[in-house]
C-alpha cells in the first residue's frame, strides 16, 4: 500500500466533486490538472508523498498523481465512481451524503451537489444557529458578473464585490429562506439589482471610497455560486438615508426576533442617536443659561431632550418597528459583549432579557439584572402611583414655572397609553 501524507478529506472531496460535476467521462490526467489547484496544501502534499514512496521529493506532481489514483480507488470501492482511468463517471445520484473509508480512522464525508451548495452558502452567509459566514464578516469577497455597469463607478464584466458595513447589522436569512432564494435564482436568474453604496471607511489606492453591496448580499452570494449575472444600481443619498434604507428593507419584512431587531437598530442608529441626544442636551443647557441671564417675558423653557434610545427607535421607523427604547438601550450593553452579540445575531438568543443577562455574565458583572424585572401589571401599577404623586404635588404647589414641560410629558404619556391599548388585542390573540 502506497503512503499518503496530507489532507485526506480535501483530496477525496475535491476529486469526487470534479467527477460528479463534469457531466461527462473524465480521465486521471484531467483530475491531476484540476484537483490540486483547489486547496492550499496540495503542493506540499505532493512533495512529501513523493518522498515517502521513494520518488524524487522535488517531483511534487508524481506525489499528486498518487493522491489522485488512491482517491479514485477509494471512490470506486465505495460505489460512487465507475469506469476505467480514461473514462471515470459518477455512478450514483447527484444529491446525497456518503462516508468513504480512506486511510483514516474516521471515514471522510463526501457531499452531493445540493449538500455541497448548501455547505458553501453556510460557509459564506452563516445560518440561524451558527456564527455568521465569511461574507458577513467584511473581509471576504465574491466574484460576480455584472451585466450593465454604472458610469464612473463600476464597469461591465467580472468584479470582486464586498458587503457594505451597514448591511452587517441585519442577520442573514434563515436556511429555509436561503434555500428558496437560491432555487429562484437558479431557475430565473437575479431579477432584482444589487444596490451599491460607497464605504467611506475603506478606500482604494487612489483615495476613492469603495462601492459595496448595501442591499442584496444573499443575491450576491447565490449569483456568484451559480454563475448568474447581476445588475447593479447606485443608492443616491447620504449616510443617514442609507442606514434608513437598510432598516426599511429588513426590519419590517424579515422574520427577526425582538432581540435581533433591537440589536439592528442599535447598530444602525445608536451612534447617530447618541450624537443627536448629546447635541440636544448641550443646546438645552445653553437655553437654561440664557434664561437665567435674561429672565423670561413670554419665553418658556423647552422640554428635556429625548434620550438617545428614543431617538434611535424613531430613526428606525418608530413604533412600527415593534421595539421599545429600553430594548435598544439594553443592546448597547450587548454590543460590548462579542460572544453574546453573535448569539443574538445568529438567533441562538432570542429575547432581550436573555441577551442582557448573557452579556452581563460575559462582561463579568456578578449579579445581572433582567431588563424586564416585573410584570406588565406591576409596571403599570407603579406608573399609576407616580402619576397620583405628581397630581398631589401639583395641587399643593403654590407656584409652578415649568408648565410647558408638564404638558409635553402628558402628551407623551397619552401616546404611551394609546400604544398599550393598541398592543393588548394582538397579545390576547397570541
Per-position pLDDT tens, the chain of length 430: 899 999 998 899 999 999 998 889 999 999 999 999 888 899 999 999 999 999 999 999 999 999 999 999 999 999 999 999 999 999 999 889 999 998 877 788 888 887 777 776 666 665 543 444 555 554 456 788 898 888 888 889 998 888 898 988 888 777 778 888 888 998 999 999 999 999 998 888 888 899 999 999 889 988 888 889 999 999 999 999 999 999 988 887 667 888 999 999 999 999 999 988 888 877 766 666 565 555 555 444 444 445 899 999 999 988 888 888 889 999 998 999 988 988 888 788 888 888 998 998 888 876 555 555 557 787 788 888 888 888 887 777 766 667 777 888 888 888 888 878 877 765 555 4
| 310, 227: one domain | no
| 230, 135: one domain | yes
Task: Write 273-281 long-range contacts (CB < 8 A, 24+).
Answer: 273/308, 273/309, 273/311, 273/312, 273/315, 274/308, 276/308, 276/311, 277/305, 277/306, 277/307, 277/308, 277/311, 278/308, 280/305, 280/306, 281/305
Q: What secondary structure letter does DSSP report for 38?
A: G
pTM of the predicted protein model? 0.58
| 367, 278: one domain | yes
Residue 3 covered by a domain: no
Residue 229 covered by a domain: yes
Task: Write 211-214 long-range contacts (CB < 8 A, 24+).
Answer: 211/153, 211/154, 212/161, 212/162, 212/163, 212/164, 212/165, 213/161, 213/162, 213/163, 213/164, 213/167, 214/164, 214/166, 214/167, 214/242, 214/245, 214/246
Range of the domain at 332: 258-373
When divided into structural domains, the chain yields a total of: 4
Residue 1 covered by a domain: no
| 173, 296: one domain | no
| 70, 182: one domain | no
Which of 53, 79, 111 represents a domain boundary (last residue)?
Answer: 111
Largest CA-CA distance found in the chain, in angstroms, rounded: 104
| 102, 125: one domain | no
| 353, 331: one domain | yes
| 132, 239: one domain | yes
Which of 84, 111, 138 represents a domain boundary (last residue)?
Answer: 111
Residue 234 covered by a domain: yes
CATH number assigned to the domain comprising residue 67: 1.10.10
| 242, 155: one domain | yes
| 223, 159: one domain | yes
| 121, 246: one domain | yes
Amino acid at each position: 500500500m502506497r503512503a499518503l501524507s496530507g489532507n485526506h478529506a480535501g483530496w477525496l472531496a475535491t476529486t469526487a466533486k470534479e467527477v460528479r460535476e463534469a457531466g461527462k467521462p473524465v480521465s486521471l490526467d484531467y483530475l491531476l490538472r484540476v484537483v490540486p489547484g483547489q486547496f492550499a496544501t496540495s503542493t506540499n502534499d505532493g512533495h512529501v508523498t513523493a518522498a515517502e514512496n521513494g520518488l524524487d521529493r522535488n517531483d511534487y506532481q508524481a506525489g499528486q498523481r498518487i493522491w489522485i489514483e488512491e482517491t479514485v480507488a477509494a471512490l470506486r470501492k465505495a460505489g460512487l465512481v465507475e469506469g476505467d482511468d480514461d473514462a471515470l463517471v459518477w455512478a450514483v445520484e447527484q444529491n446525497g451524503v456518503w462516508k468513504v473509508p480512506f486511510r483514516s480512522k474516521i471515514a471522510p464525508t463526501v457531499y452531493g451537489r445540493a449538500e455541497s451548495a448548501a455547505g458553501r452558502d453556510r460557509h459564506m452567509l452563516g445560518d440561524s444557529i451558527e456564527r455568521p459566514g465569511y461574507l458577513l464578516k467584511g473581509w471576504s469577497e465574491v466574484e460576480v458578473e455584472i451585466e450593465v455597469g454604472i458610469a464612473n463607478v463600476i464597469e461591465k464584466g467580472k468584479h470582486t464585490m464586498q458587503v457594505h458595513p451597514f448591511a452587517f447589522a441585519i442577520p442573514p436569512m434563515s436556511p429555509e429562506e436561503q434555500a428558496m432564494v437560491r432555487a429562484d435564482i437558479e431557475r430565473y436568474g437575479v431579477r432584482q439589482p444589487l444596490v451599491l453604496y460607497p464605504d467611506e471607511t475603506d478606500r482604494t489606492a487612489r483615495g476613492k471610497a469603495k462601492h459595496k453591496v448595501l442591499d442584496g448580499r444573499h443575491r450576491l452570494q447565490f449569483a456568484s455560486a451559480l454563475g448568474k449575472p447581476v445588475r447593479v444600481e447606485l443608492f443616491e443619498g447620504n449616510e443617514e438615508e442609507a442606514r434608513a434604507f437598510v432598516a426599511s428593507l429588513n426590519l419590517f419584512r424579515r422574520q427577526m426576533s425582538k432581540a435581533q431587531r433591537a440589536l439592528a437598530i442599535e447598530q444602525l442608529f445608536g451612534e447617530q442617536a447618541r450624537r443627536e441626544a448629546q447635541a440636544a442636551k448641550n443646546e438645552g443647557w445653553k437655553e437654561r443659561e440664557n434664561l437665567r441671564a435674561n429672565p423670561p417675558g413670554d419665553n418658556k423653557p423647552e422640554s428635556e431632550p429625548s434620550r438617545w434610545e428614543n431617538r434611535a427607535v424613531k430613526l428606525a421607523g418608530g413604533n412600527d418597528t415593534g421595539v421599545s427604547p429600553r430594548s435598544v438601550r439594553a443592546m448597547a450593553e450587548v454590543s460590548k459583549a462579542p460572544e453574546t452579540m453573535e448569539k443574538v445575531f445568529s438567533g441562538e438568543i432570542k429575547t432581550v432579557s436573555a441577551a442582557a443577562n448573557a452579556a452581563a455574565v460575559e462582561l463579568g458583572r456578578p449579579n445581572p439584572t433582567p431588563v424586564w424585572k416585573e410584570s406588565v401589571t406591576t409596571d403599570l401599577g407603579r406608573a399609576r402611583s407616580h402619576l397620583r404623586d405628581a397630581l398631589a404635588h401639583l395641587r399643593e404647589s403654590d407656584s409652578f414655572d415649568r408648565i410647558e414641560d408638564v404638558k409635553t410629558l402628558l402628551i407623551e404619556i397619552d401616546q404611551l397609553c394609546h400604544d398599550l391599548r393598541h398592543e393588548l388585542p394582538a397579545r390576547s390573540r397570541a
